[in-house]
Amino acid sequence: MAICVPTLNAGALWHEWLTRARPALANVPVLVIDSSSDDDTAALARQAGCRVEVIARADFDHGGTRDWALHQLAPYEIVVFLTQDALLTSPEAIDHLLAAFDDPNVGAAYGRQLPHHDASPIAAHARLFNYPVRDHRVTPADMTRWGIKAAFLSNSFAAYRRRALLDAGGFPHGAILSEDMVAGARLLQSGWHLAYCAQACVQHSHNYSWGQEFRRYFDIGVLHARERWILEMTGNAEREGQRFVASELRYLARHAPWAIPGAFIRNALKYLGYRLGRHERSLPLRLKRRLSMNRGYWATER
Protein backbone atom coordinates (compact mmCIF):
# COMPACT_ATOMS: atom_id res chain seq x y z
CA MET A 1 0.00 0.00 0.00
CA ALA A 2 1.13 3.54 -0.79
CA ILE A 3 -0.36 7.00 -0.27
CA CYS A 4 -0.53 9.93 -2.69
CA VAL A 5 -1.32 13.55 -1.79
CA PRO A 6 -1.46 16.34 -4.41
CA THR A 7 -0.60 19.68 -2.79
CA LEU A 8 -0.56 23.40 -3.51
CA ASN A 9 0.13 26.01 -0.82
CA ALA A 10 -1.34 23.79 1.90
CA GLY A 11 -0.75 26.49 4.50
CA ALA A 12 -1.21 26.17 8.26
CA LEU A 13 -3.48 23.13 7.94
CA TRP A 14 -0.63 21.13 6.38
CA HIS A 15 1.27 20.94 9.65
CA GLU A 16 -1.80 19.48 11.35
CA TRP A 17 -2.30 17.09 8.42
CA LEU A 18 1.23 15.73 8.82
CA THR A 19 0.92 15.57 12.61
CA ARG A 20 -2.31 13.58 12.48
CA ALA A 21 -1.09 11.33 9.69
CA ARG A 22 2.32 10.56 11.18
CA PRO A 23 1.23 7.48 13.22
CA ALA A 24 -0.59 6.03 10.21
CA LEU A 25 2.29 6.73 7.83
CA ALA A 26 4.99 4.83 9.69
CA ASN A 27 6.66 2.46 7.21
CA VAL A 28 4.18 3.51 4.49
CA PRO A 29 5.51 5.24 1.34
CA VAL A 30 3.93 8.64 0.77
CA LEU A 31 4.14 10.44 -2.57
CA VAL A 32 3.44 14.18 -2.40
CA ILE A 33 2.91 15.79 -5.80
CA ASP A 34 3.37 19.50 -5.23
CA SER A 35 2.30 22.04 -7.83
CA SER A 36 5.17 24.47 -7.16
CA SER A 37 3.87 25.80 -3.86
CA ASP A 38 4.97 29.27 -2.76
CA ASP A 39 5.00 28.25 0.91
CA ASP A 40 6.86 25.49 2.79
CA THR A 41 4.45 22.67 1.84
CA ALA A 42 7.10 20.67 -0.03
CA ALA A 43 9.81 21.25 2.59
CA LEU A 44 7.58 20.09 5.45
CA ALA A 45 6.62 16.99 3.48
CA ARG A 46 10.28 16.11 2.93
CA GLN A 47 11.01 16.64 6.63
CA ALA A 48 8.20 14.20 7.42
CA GLY A 49 9.85 11.55 5.23
CA CYS A 50 7.58 11.86 2.19
CA ARG A 51 8.79 11.51 -1.36
CA VAL A 52 8.10 14.86 -3.02
CA GLU A 53 7.73 15.40 -6.75
CA VAL A 54 7.37 19.05 -7.79
CA ILE A 55 5.51 19.82 -11.00
CA ALA A 56 4.72 23.08 -12.75
CA ARG A 57 1.45 24.55 -11.56
CA ALA A 58 0.14 24.68 -15.12
CA ASP A 59 0.84 20.95 -15.54
CA PHE A 60 -1.50 19.87 -12.75
CA ASP A 61 -4.54 17.97 -13.96
CA HIS A 62 -7.07 16.56 -11.47
CA GLY A 63 -7.21 13.18 -13.17
CA GLY A 64 -4.02 13.17 -15.21
CA THR A 65 -1.77 13.90 -12.24
CA ARG A 66 -3.37 11.12 -10.19
CA ASP A 67 -3.06 8.76 -13.16
CA TRP A 68 0.65 9.61 -13.36
CA ALA A 69 0.93 8.80 -9.65
CA LEU A 70 -0.54 5.33 -10.25
CA HIS A 71 2.31 4.61 -12.63
CA GLN A 72 4.89 6.08 -10.23
CA LEU A 73 3.62 3.73 -7.52
CA ALA A 74 3.82 0.62 -9.69
CA PRO A 75 5.10 -1.79 -6.98
CA TYR A 76 2.02 -1.26 -4.79
CA GLU A 77 -1.30 -3.06 -5.13
CA ILE A 78 -3.41 -0.46 -3.30
CA VAL A 79 -2.98 3.32 -3.60
CA VAL A 80 -4.72 5.66 -1.15
CA PHE A 81 -5.42 9.21 -2.36
CA LEU A 82 -5.88 12.01 0.16
CA THR A 83 -6.16 15.76 -0.24
CA GLN A 84 -4.19 18.28 1.79
CA ASP A 85 -7.29 19.47 3.67
CA ALA A 86 -8.65 16.03 4.66
CA LEU A 87 -7.53 15.35 8.24
CA LEU A 88 -7.45 11.77 9.49
CA THR A 89 -9.56 11.41 12.63
CA SER A 90 -7.55 8.45 13.94
CA PRO A 91 -4.43 6.44 13.02
CA GLU A 92 -6.71 3.49 12.25
CA ALA A 93 -8.68 5.33 9.56
CA ILE A 94 -6.52 4.02 6.72
CA ASP A 95 -6.59 0.48 8.11
CA HIS A 96 -10.41 0.57 8.13
CA LEU A 97 -10.35 1.69 4.50
CA LEU A 98 -7.91 -1.02 3.43
CA ALA A 99 -10.03 -3.73 5.06
CA ALA A 100 -12.53 -3.36 2.21
CA PHE A 101 -9.99 -4.90 -0.16
CA ASP A 102 -10.12 -8.21 1.67
CA ASP A 103 -12.96 -8.81 -0.78
CA PRO A 104 -11.26 -9.49 -4.14
CA ASN A 105 -14.24 -7.97 -5.99
CA VAL A 106 -13.64 -4.48 -4.58
CA GLY A 107 -11.87 -2.16 -7.00
CA ALA A 108 -12.11 1.03 -4.93
CA ALA A 109 -13.20 2.14 -1.47
CA TYR A 110 -13.81 5.53 0.10
CA GLY A 111 -14.17 6.72 3.65
CA ARG A 112 -16.52 8.91 5.61
CA GLN A 113 -16.07 12.69 5.69
CA LEU A 114 -17.01 14.56 8.86
CA PRO A 115 -17.47 18.34 8.83
CA HIS A 116 -14.73 20.58 10.18
CA HIS A 117 -15.50 22.31 13.48
CA ASP A 118 -16.19 25.58 11.67
CA ALA A 119 -18.58 24.02 9.12
CA SER A 120 -21.79 25.93 8.42
CA PRO A 121 -25.12 24.06 8.77
CA ILE A 122 -25.24 23.80 4.97
CA ALA A 123 -21.75 22.28 4.81
CA ALA A 124 -22.42 19.97 7.77
CA HIS A 125 -25.57 18.58 6.16
CA ALA A 126 -23.78 17.94 2.86
CA ARG A 127 -21.30 15.70 4.68
CA LEU A 128 -24.02 13.88 6.64
CA PHE A 129 -26.04 13.30 3.47
CA ASN A 130 -23.20 12.04 1.30
CA TYR A 131 -21.37 10.07 3.99
CA PRO A 132 -23.83 8.05 6.12
CA VAL A 133 -23.10 6.11 9.31
CA ARG A 134 -23.37 2.64 7.73
CA ASP A 135 -21.14 0.87 5.22
CA HIS A 136 -22.51 -0.01 1.82
CA ARG A 137 -21.37 -1.67 -1.38
CA VAL A 138 -22.25 -0.86 -4.98
CA THR A 139 -22.01 -3.58 -7.63
CA PRO A 140 -22.58 -3.29 -11.38
CA ALA A 141 -26.02 -4.87 -10.84
CA ASP A 142 -26.94 -2.06 -8.41
CA MET A 143 -26.36 0.88 -10.72
CA THR A 144 -29.99 1.49 -11.66
CA ARG A 145 -31.04 1.46 -8.00
CA TRP A 146 -28.30 3.85 -6.90
CA GLY A 147 -28.53 6.17 -9.90
CA ILE A 148 -25.76 8.74 -10.25
CA LYS A 149 -24.61 7.93 -6.69
CA ALA A 150 -23.55 4.48 -7.90
CA ALA A 151 -20.23 5.85 -9.15
CA PHE A 152 -19.74 8.21 -6.21
CA LEU A 153 -16.24 8.19 -4.70
CA SER A 154 -14.14 10.92 -3.11
CA ASN A 155 -10.81 12.30 -4.20
CA SER A 156 -10.27 13.49 -0.59
CA PHE A 157 -10.05 10.00 0.92
CA ALA A 158 -10.28 6.97 -1.34
CA ALA A 159 -8.23 3.89 -2.16
CA TYR A 160 -7.94 2.04 -5.45
CA ARG A 161 -6.79 -1.38 -6.54
CA ARG A 162 -4.10 0.06 -8.80
CA ARG A 163 -4.03 -2.55 -11.54
CA ALA A 164 -7.80 -2.78 -11.69
CA LEU A 165 -8.17 0.96 -12.20
CA LEU A 166 -5.45 1.13 -14.84
CA ASP A 167 -7.00 -1.79 -16.71
CA ALA A 168 -10.39 -0.01 -16.57
CA GLY A 169 -8.90 3.12 -18.14
CA GLY A 170 -7.40 4.88 -15.14
CA PHE A 171 -8.27 8.39 -14.08
CA PRO A 172 -9.54 10.63 -16.86
CA HIS A 173 -7.15 13.17 -18.33
CA GLY A 174 -8.57 16.65 -18.86
CA ALA A 175 -11.67 16.30 -16.65
CA ILE A 176 -12.87 19.59 -15.18
CA LEU A 177 -13.52 17.90 -11.81
CA SER A 178 -14.94 14.66 -10.32
CA GLU A 179 -12.16 12.53 -11.72
CA ASP A 180 -12.99 10.15 -8.89
CA MET A 181 -16.54 9.63 -10.18
CA VAL A 182 -15.26 8.90 -13.69
CA ALA A 183 -12.81 6.39 -12.20
CA GLY A 184 -15.62 4.79 -10.18
CA ALA A 185 -17.85 4.54 -13.25
CA ARG A 186 -15.03 2.94 -15.23
CA LEU A 187 -14.49 0.36 -12.50
CA LEU A 188 -18.20 -0.48 -12.33
CA GLN A 189 -18.30 -0.74 -16.10
CA SER A 190 -15.44 -3.25 -15.86
CA GLY A 191 -17.29 -5.37 -13.29
CA TRP A 192 -15.64 -4.16 -10.09
CA HIS A 193 -17.44 -3.24 -6.84
CA LEU A 194 -17.16 0.09 -4.96
CA ALA A 195 -17.15 0.06 -1.15
CA TYR A 196 -18.04 2.78 1.34
CA CYS A 197 -16.34 2.42 4.74
CA ALA A 198 -18.06 4.46 7.44
CA GLN A 199 -15.41 3.69 10.09
CA ALA A 200 -12.64 5.19 7.95
CA CYS A 201 -13.04 8.87 8.75
CA VAL A 202 -11.47 12.21 7.86
CA GLN A 203 -12.52 15.76 8.63
CA HIS A 204 -13.21 17.57 5.40
CA SER A 205 -15.75 20.24 4.44
CA HIS A 206 -16.06 23.56 2.61
CA ASN A 207 -18.13 26.62 3.48
CA TYR A 208 -18.86 27.62 -0.11
CA SER A 209 -20.43 30.97 -0.91
CA TRP A 210 -23.45 31.17 -3.21
CA GLY A 211 -21.19 32.14 -6.11
CA GLN A 212 -18.81 29.26 -5.45
CA GLU A 213 -21.73 26.81 -5.33
CA PHE A 214 -23.01 28.12 -8.67
CA ARG A 215 -19.58 27.78 -10.28
CA ARG A 216 -18.99 24.35 -8.82
CA TYR A 217 -22.29 23.04 -10.14
CA PHE A 218 -21.63 24.64 -13.50
CA ASP A 219 -18.46 22.52 -13.63
CA ILE A 220 -20.40 19.40 -12.58
CA GLY A 221 -22.80 20.07 -15.44
CA VAL A 222 -19.86 20.38 -17.83
CA LEU A 223 -18.51 17.03 -16.64
CA HIS A 224 -21.90 15.34 -17.12
CA ALA A 225 -22.21 16.86 -20.58
CA ARG A 226 -18.75 15.68 -21.63
CA GLU A 227 -18.96 12.29 -19.90
CA ARG A 228 -22.55 11.61 -20.90
CA TRP A 229 -21.98 7.87 -20.80
CA ILE A 230 -21.92 7.96 -16.99
CA LEU A 231 -25.51 9.24 -16.83
CA GLU A 232 -26.55 6.77 -19.51
CA MET A 233 -25.07 3.98 -17.39
CA THR A 234 -26.28 5.08 -13.94
CA GLY A 235 -29.30 7.30 -14.51
CA ASN A 236 -30.21 10.97 -14.35
CA ALA A 237 -28.69 13.22 -11.69
CA GLU A 238 -31.80 15.33 -11.00
CA ARG A 239 -33.47 12.62 -8.89
CA GLU A 240 -30.55 12.62 -6.48
CA GLY A 241 -30.63 16.41 -6.41
CA GLN A 242 -34.27 16.39 -5.34
CA ARG A 243 -33.51 13.89 -2.58
CA PHE A 244 -30.67 16.10 -1.36
CA VAL A 245 -32.83 19.23 -1.19
CA ALA A 246 -35.57 17.45 0.76
CA SER A 247 -33.00 16.08 3.22
CA GLU A 248 -31.37 19.49 3.61
CA LEU A 249 -34.67 21.21 4.42
CA ARG A 250 -35.47 18.61 7.08
CA TYR A 251 -32.00 19.02 8.61
CA LEU A 252 -32.18 22.82 8.65
CA ALA A 253 -35.69 22.79 10.13
CA ARG A 254 -34.25 20.89 13.11
CA HIS A 255 -30.86 22.56 13.48
CA ALA A 256 -30.81 25.97 11.75
CA PRO A 257 -34.26 27.16 10.60
CA TRP A 258 -32.86 30.64 10.03
CA ALA A 259 -30.77 29.21 7.16
CA ILE A 260 -33.74 27.89 5.16
CA PRO A 261 -34.41 31.02 3.01
CA GLY A 262 -30.75 31.14 1.98
CA ALA A 263 -30.82 27.44 1.22
CA PHE A 264 -33.61 27.95 -1.31
CA ILE A 265 -31.54 30.62 -3.09
CA ARG A 266 -28.40 28.48 -2.91
CA ASN A 267 -30.15 25.43 -4.39
CA ALA A 268 -31.70 27.52 -7.16
CA LEU A 269 -28.25 28.81 -8.07
CA LYS A 270 -26.81 25.30 -7.98
CA TYR A 271 -29.52 24.02 -10.31
CA LEU A 272 -29.09 26.98 -12.67
CA GLY A 273 -25.34 26.45 -12.73
CA TYR A 274 -25.77 22.73 -13.39
CA ARG A 275 -28.22 23.27 -16.26
CA LEU A 276 -25.95 25.88 -17.86
CA GLY A 277 -23.04 23.47 -17.54
CA ARG A 278 -25.01 20.70 -19.22
CA HIS A 279 -25.52 23.06 -22.17
CA GLU A 280 -22.01 24.49 -22.18
CA ARG A 281 -21.49 23.61 -25.85
CA SER A 282 -23.91 26.40 -26.71
CA LEU A 283 -22.11 29.02 -24.62
CA PRO A 284 -19.25 31.27 -25.77
CA LEU A 285 -15.85 30.43 -24.31
CA ARG A 286 -15.48 33.80 -22.59
CA LEU A 287 -18.73 33.23 -20.69
CA LYS A 288 -17.78 29.67 -19.73
CA ARG A 289 -14.56 30.95 -18.19
CA ARG A 290 -16.54 33.44 -16.10
CA LEU A 291 -19.07 30.84 -14.95
CA SER A 292 -16.57 28.11 -14.04
CA MET A 293 -14.85 27.48 -10.70
CA ASN A 294 -11.94 25.79 -12.50
CA ARG A 295 -11.13 28.59 -14.91
CA GLY A 296 -7.75 27.15 -15.81
CA TYR A 297 -9.58 24.22 -17.40
CA TRP A 298 -10.60 26.42 -20.33
CA ALA A 299 -7.07 27.57 -21.16
CA THR A 300 -6.68 24.95 -23.90
CA GLU A 301 -10.17 25.49 -25.34
CA ARG A 302 -10.57 27.39 -28.59
> In this predicted model, what pLDDT tens digit does every residue of 212-263 receive, in sequence order?
999 999 999 999 999 999 999 987 777 888 999 999 999 999 999 999 999 9
Q: For 258, which DSSP code?
A: G
Q: Please tell me the predicted confidence (pLDDT) of residue 14.
A: 96
The C-alpha atoms of residue 208 and residue 126 are separated, in whole angstroms, by 11
Q: Please tell me the predicted confidence (pLDDT) of residue 110.
A: 98
Point out the residues of the chain with pLDDT beneath 50: none
Q: For residues 277, 278, 279 and 285, what is the CA-based torsion angle, rounded to 10 degrees?
A: 40
pTM of the predicted protein model = 0.94
